[in-house]
Amino acid sequence: MFFEGFTLTTREINGVVYRFRSEGTGRQTVMLLHGRPETHAAWHHVGPFLAADYRVICPDLHPERTPAEQASDLLELATVTGHDRLVIAGQDYGAHLACQIAAAAPERVQAVIVMEALPAPDHTGRDDMAFSLSQYDCCWFGQLHPKPESQTIPVPSEWLENPLPSESIFAPEAVADYLSASIWQYAVPVIWPVPRARLTCPLMALWANSGRIGGWYNPLTLWRETTTGEISGHPISGRHFLAEETPVDVGNSIRTFMQHLTSA
In the chain, what are the domains?
7-124+181-263 (3.40.50.1820)
Distances (CA, A) of 52 to 27, 67, 77: 12, 31, 22
Distance of CA 131 to the CA centre of its chain: 21
Task: List pLDDT tens digits, range 192-249.
Answer: 765 566 899 999 999 999 887 877 788 999 899 889 999 999 999 998 999 999 999 9
Q: Tell me which residue of 49, 83, 53, 65 sits closest to 250, measured CA to CA.
A: 49
CB contact at 8 A, 29 and 56? yes
Task: List pLDDT tens digits, range 38-94.
Answer: 999 999 999 999 999 999 999 999 999 999 999 999 999 999 999 999 999 999 999
- For 170-188, what is the mean pLDDT? 89
Residue 184's pLDDT band (cuts 50, 70, 90): confident
Structure confidence at residue 146 (pLDDT):
45
Q: What gap in Å lies between CA 99 and CA 225, rounded to an integer?
A: 13
Q: What is the CA radius of gyration of the chain?
A: 18
For 142, residues 6+ apart whose C-beta sits below 8 A from its C-beta are 133
Task: List pLDDT tens digits, range 139-164.
Answer: 445 555 444 444 444 678 888 888 89
Residue 131's pLDDT band (cuts 50, 70, 90): low
Q: What gap in Å lies between CA 42 and CA 170, rounded to an integer?
A: 9
**pTM of the prediction?**
0.89
- For 129-142, what is the mean pLDDT? 52
Structure confidence at residue 193 (pLDDT):
66
Q: What SS3 state is found at 115?
A: strand
Structure confidence at residue 133 (pLDDT):
52
Residues of the chain with pLDDT > 70, as a percent, come to: 84
Q: What gap in Å lies between CA 244 and CA 257, rounded to an integer?
A: 19
Cα first-last separation, the chain: 35
Q: Tell me which residue of 78, 86, 3 sits closest to 40, measured CA to CA.
A: 3
CB contact at 8 A, 220 and 127? no
CB contact at 8 A, 44 and 247? no
Residue 1's pLDDT band (cuts 50, 70, 90): confident
From start to end of the chain, where are the E strands?
Answer: 7-13, 16-23, 29-33, 55-59, 86-91, 109-115, 203-208, 231-236
Q: What gap in Å lies between CA 228 and CA 73, rounded to an integer?
A: 26
